[in-house]
Structure 1
Amino acid sequence: MERRTLLRVAVVGTAAAAFGGASWREAFAAGAQPGPSPYGPLEPVNPSGLMLPKGFTSRVVARTGQKVAGTAYTWHPAPDGGACFADGTGWIYVSNSEVPATGGVGAVRFASDGKIVGAYRTLANTNVNCAGGATPWQTWLSCEEVDRGYVYETDPFGVKAAIRRPAMGRFKHEACASDPDRKVIYLTEDVPDGCLYRFKPTVWGDLSSGTLEVMVGATSQTSGPVTWKPVPDPDGSPTATRNQVSGAKRFNGGEGCYYAAGVCWFTTKGDNRVWAYDAATSTISLTYDDSLVNGTPPLTGVDNVTRSSGGDLFVAEDGGNMEICIITPNGIVAPFLRVPNQSGSEITGPAFNPAGNRFYFSSQRGTSGTSGGGITYEVTGPFRR
Structure 2
Amino acid sequence: MIVERRTFLRTAVIGSSAAAFGGTLWRGAAFADPAQPAPGPYGALQAANGNGIQLPSGFTSRIVARSGQTVPGTSYRWHSAPDGGATYADGSGWIYVSNAEVSPSSGGGASAVRFDSSGTVTAAYRILGDTNNNCAGGATPWKTWLSCEEVTRGYVYETDPWGVNAAVRRPAMGRFKHEAAAADPDHGYVYLTEDESDGRFYRFRPTTWGNLSSGTLQVLVAGSGTSGPVSWANVPDPAASSTQTRHQVSGAKVFNGGEGCFYAAGTCWFTTKGDNRVWAYDATTSSISLAYDDSLVTGGSAPLTGVDNVTRSASGDLYIAEDGGNMEICLITPDDTVAPFLRITGQSGSEITGPAFSPDGSRLYFSSQRGTSGSSSGGITYEVKGPFRG
Q: TM-score when scaled to structure 2?
A: 0.94
Give me the whole-angstrom Cα distance separating, in 2, the residues matched to 1:36 and 1:164.
44
- Of the three residues 55, 59, 66, the one matched with 2:58 is 55
Gaps of 5+ in 2: 1-8, 19-23
| Structure 2 residue 145 is the aligned partner of structure 1 residue 140 | yes
Give me the whole-angstrom Cα distance separating, in 1, the residues matched to 2:37 and 2:25.
17
Structure 2 contact 25–228 (Cα < 8 Å) conserved? no
| Letter of the 1:273 counterpart | R
| Letter of the 1:64 counterpart | S
Query: What per-residue deviation string (whole Å, max 9, x for no partner) do you get for residues 304-358 of structure 1?
Result: 0000010000000001010000001111100000001100000000000100000
Give me the whole-angstrom Cα distance separating, in 2, the residues matched to 1:14 and 1:136.
28
| Structure 2 residue 12 is the aligned partner of structure 1 residue 5 | yes
Task: State the number of aligned residues.
Answer: 373
| Structure 2 residue 136 is the aligned partner of structure 1 residue 125 | no
| Letter of the 2:312 counterpart | R
Give me the whole-angstrom Cα distance separating, in 2, the residues matched to 1:345 and 1:368.
8
Query: What per-residue deviation string (whole Å, max 9, x for no partner) do you get for residues 169-211 of structure 1?
Result: 0000000100001110000000000000000000000000000
Give me the whole-angstrom Cα distance separating, in 1, the residues matched to 2:259 and 2:132.
17
Structure 1 contact 14–278 (Cα < 8 Å) conserved? no
Cross-structure match for 2:182: 177
Give me the whole-angstrom Cα distance separating, in 2, the residues matched to 1:226 and 1:4.
20
| Letter of the 2:221 counterpart | V
Cα-Cα RMSD: 1.2
| Structure 2 residue 44 is the aligned partner of structure 1 residue 38 | no
| Letter of the 1:136 counterpart | P
* Structure 1 residue matching 2:301: 3-state secondary structure: coil
Structure 2 contact 10–295 (Cα < 8 Å) conserved? no
Structure 2 contact 158–167 (Cα < 8 Å) conserved? yes
Cross-structure match for 2:297: 293
Cross-structure match for 1:248: 252
| Letter of the 2:184 counterpart | D
Query: What per-residue deviation string (whole Å, max 9, x for no partner) do you get for residues 17-54 of structure 1?
Result: 2x3xxxx43xx1xx210010110000001112110000
Structure 1 contact 91–110 (Cα < 8 Å) conserved? yes
Cross-structure match for 2:6: none
Give me the whole-angstrom Cα distance separating, in 1, the residues matched to 2:297 and 2:11.
13
Cross-structure match for 1:83: 86
Gaps of 5+ in 1: none
Cross-structure match for 1:210: 215
Cross-structure match for 1:200: 205
* Structure 2 residue matching 1:167: 3-state secondary structure: helix
Structure 1 contact 12–287 (Cα < 8 Å) conserved? no
Cross-structure match for 1:382: 387
| Structure 2 residue 326 is the aligned partner of structure 1 residue 326 | no
Cross-structure match for 2:103: 100
Give me the whole-angstrom Cα distance separating, in 2, the residues matched to 1:7 and 1:153.
38
Per-residue deviation at 1:7?
Answer: 3.0
Cross-structure match for 2:117: 112
Give me the whole-angstrom Cα distance separating, in 2, the residues matched to 1:329 and 1:222.
19
| Structure 2 residue 297 is the aligned partner of structure 1 residue 284 | no
Give me the whole-angstrom Cα distance separating, in 2, the residues matched to 1:201 and 1:307.
25
Per-residue deviation at 1:72?
Answer: 1.1
Per-residue deviation at 1:14?
Answer: 4.2
Give me the whole-angstrom Cα distance separating, in 2, the residues matched to 1:215 and 1:313.
23
Query: What per-residue deviation string (whole Å, max 9, x for no partner) do you get for residues 39-75 of structure 1?
Result: 0000001112110000000000000000001111100
Give me the whole-angstrom Cα distance separating, in 2, the residues matched to 1:13 and 1:86.
36
Following TM superposition, the consecutive aligned residue runs of length 4 or more in structure 1 with deviations greater than 4 angstroms are: 8-12
Cross-structure match for 2:21: none
